[in-house]
Amino acid sequence: MFDLDPGKLIVIGIVALIAIPSKDLPRVLRTLGQATGRMRRMAAEFQGQFMDAMRDAELADLKKEIEETNRAVMSSTKLDVAFDPMAEARKQITSAVKGDAPRSESPSDEAAEADKKAGA
């Protein structure tokens, strides 16, 4: 903020010793220290609020990006068939109770049945 290097601070200190009487110097330095402390606290508070605002903005951008990604994924992967494992289990149990022969779904089972018929 202020470009005060050690050389400039020494010059300001010498001018202050000349301009301010020695009996008032401790009061002036205390006031200067308190003012500096207040400015630092205000700067830290401002920086904290700024960082919070930046974090909130990043969070809002990230949330928006995730929502767009979810929307894109959901629109490209719509399923025509509902997944219902209980309905499949119900069918299998019903067919077993009725005594229907279970259907073989793998090609190797069908090949084994064909070999049995050919061999008999």
| Domain limits for position 36 | 1-75
Token code pair at residue 71: 């929307």
Domain membership flag for residue 31: yes
Domain membership flag for residue 26: yes
pTM passes above 0.85: no
- pLDDT tens for each residue of 32-51: 889 999 999 999 999 999 99
Would you say the C-alpha torsion 61, 64, 66, 68 has a positive or negative sign?
negative
With both helix axes pointing from N to C terminus, report the angle between 25-76 and 6-19 in degrees, rounded to the nearest 10.
140
Structural domains in the chain (count)? 1
Domain membership flag for residue 60: yes
Domain membership flag for residue 95: no
Domain membership flag for residue 99: no
Residue environment code for 54-71, b if the CB has 16+ CB neighbours within 10 A, otherwise e: eeeeeeeeeeeeeeeeee
Q: What is the DSSP letter of 29?
A: H
Pick from 2-11, 18-27, 74-83: least confident? 74-83
Domain membership flag for residue 80: no
Instruction: Report CA 76 to chain centroid distance, whole Å.
Output: 24
Domain membership flag for residue 91: no
